[in-house]
Amino acid sequence: MLILFLLSVIVISLSGAMMPGPVLAITIERSYKSRATGPLIAIGHGLVEVPLIILIYFGLSRFFKLAPVQTFIGVIGGGMLIYMGINAIRTGNNTYEKKNPSYGSVVGGMITSAANPYFFLWWATVGAALIIKSTIFGIVGFILFIIAHWLCDLGWYSIVSIGIYKTGSFENERLNKIILNICSLLLLGFGLYFIISVIVK
């Protein structure tokens, strides 16, 4: 039944979106300056995710399971996350109220998604299984699957973004800087972890 399938998609998608990771970290870091951060991050995430879903639909899930591919994504992606973490620390500690990051939230959502090798592995395994199930309901089922999944990302990151913006928007600059630095260090940590995890096996 299509409705039951879409409900399962929502539950699985939300469980993935709510897990701590680079995308959530950059959402928290950026949300102090704009309530639109969540939707923009979700758009950037979707710009990477939807083409990937379509590629898997056409049978490329095995490609993302290959060890050389995972190593390449882990090293390059980890390096990008380390750069973003360093840049975020520098931005957060220099003219906090005025200085803007060197890239927008849409780009940030794209980079943190594409830089995460486990993002591709999830889609090559759990995601691929959901895609296959969606084909039972034809092209309509596949399209509804994409929409339902992305709306979960949009909803969650929007809730996080709006909540942080409303409760902590520059009311306590010192606390905000601490949280921003923690999120920046998380990006650094994820970057190092991704590189080490694909090199040392």
Instruction: Evaluate the CA torsion angle 69, 70, 74, 80 in order and state its sign.
Output: positive
User: What are the DSSP calls for 80-92, one per residue?
Assistant: HHHHHHHHHHHHH
Interatomic CA distance for residues 161 and 1, integer angstroms: 34
Q: Is this model's pTM higher than 0.75 or not?
A: yes
Q: What's the pLDDT at 54?
A: 94
At 83, list the tokens: 């750069």
Model confidence pLDDT, tens digit, residues 36-66: 999 999 999 999 999 999 999 988 777 877 8
Residue type, 97: E
Mean pLDDT of 6-23: 87
Domains of the chain, by residue range, sit at 2-196
The answer, yes or no, to whether residue 147 has pLDDT greater than 80, is yes
On the 0-12 / 13-18 / 19+ scale of CB atoms within 10 A, 166 is exposed
Model confidence pLDDT, tens digit, residues 159-201: 999 988 887 655 556 666 777 778 788 888 888 888 888 787 6
Minimal CA–CA distance to 30: which of 173, 153, 179?
Answer: 179
Residue 14 pLDDT grade (very low, low, confident, very high; cuts 50, 70, 90): confident
Contact 83, 184 (CB under 8 A): no
Residue type, 184: S
Interatomic CA distance for residues 63 and 69, integer angstroms: 7
On the 0-12 / 13-18 / 19+ scale of CB atoms within 10 A, 111 is buried
Angle, CA of 22, 23 and 29, to the nearest 5°:
85
Minimal CA–CA distance to 26: which of 189, 180, 199, 193?
Answer: 180
Residue of 20 and 38 predicted with greater confidence: 38
